[in-house]
Amino acid sequence: MRLSNLPPPSLLGAALLLAFAAPAAAQDAATPGAGGAEAVVGEYVRAFTGGDYVAAARLLDPDELEEFMGLMGALSELDETGAFDVDPDATPPEAFAEFLSALTGAEPLVGEAIESARGRVVGSVAEGDSLRHVVVRTQAEVMGTDIDGVELTTAQWTGDRWVVTFDAKMQQFKAGLEAALAAQGGAEDDG
């Protein structure tokens, strides 16, 4: 499989840089309400930008992580280079970490952006009782260029804790990856 069939690295970078290191919040992920949602997003951001992808993955919605890892498994099977092979015995958080480590190794600009990332949680907006959209002011540097923005990261209350959900950018990445995998599968069937 040619990785050129995948969504462009800039799209993946944007999806991965959806939030940056935020200051610690007084609440934790088990606190209902805005404080808990903001705390879990801040914790996710610190883990992600600190390179602790296993810790970051443990804060993601487990069902969404499982679905995403299914796509990564399909990518791994089609990738002839072996760059994205994931240990089949790995837990979903471990597999997520392996994939992101491979990605940042294959796309140094993504790694550079993640390493330079910083930011802060600005606040959040409720959508019902179980969803909060957390606003994060983001900053990073890539190839000497400052990137500044405001991102939304959604947290969902599961009844006992907040989890981070994949945002629209990640959904777009997943859709692009599914299309690339389907096209690759069709090309191999024709070949």
Specify the higher pLDDT residue, 169 or 96: 96
Q: 111 in a domain, yes or no?
A: yes
Nearest CA-CA partner of 96 in 67, 119, 125, 122: 67
Q: What is the chain's mean pLDDT, rounded?
A: 77
Q: CA 143 to CA 121: how far, in whole Å? A: 25
168 pLDDT exceeds 80?
A: no
Q: Give pLDDT, residue 175.
A: 79
Mean pLDDT of 53-76: 85
Above 70 in pLDDT, residue 100?
yes
Is pLDDT at 29 greater than 90 in this prediction?
no
CATH of the domain at 49: 3.10.450
How confident is the model over 60-88, as a mean pLDDT?
Answer: 79
Higher pLDDT, 72 or 28: 72
Would residue 144 count as lying in a domain?
A: yes
Number of domains in the chain: 1
For residues 157-171, average pLDDT? 84
Residue 187 within any structural domain of the chain: no
User: Cα separation of 152 and 45, whole Å?
Assistant: 12
188, part of any domain? no
pLDDT at residue 79 tops 60: yes
Residue 191: inside a domain: no
The first and second tokens of residue 1, run together, are 């499989």
Q: Has residue 23 got a pLDDT over 90?
A: no
Domain boundaries, position 30: 3-182
pLDDT tens digits, one per residue of 31-40:
776 789 999 9
Whether 123 is in a domain gets the answer yes
Domain assignment present for 190: no
Q: How far apart are CA 150 and CA 136, in angstroms?
A: 6
Residue with the two structure tokens 């392996």: 98
The token duo for 46 is: 């610190």
| pLDDT value of position 18 | 37
Instruction: Give percent of the chain with pLDDT exceeding 90.
Output: 21
Look at residue 169 and tell me if it is in a domain: yes
CA-based nearest residue to 30, from 142, 134, 155:
155
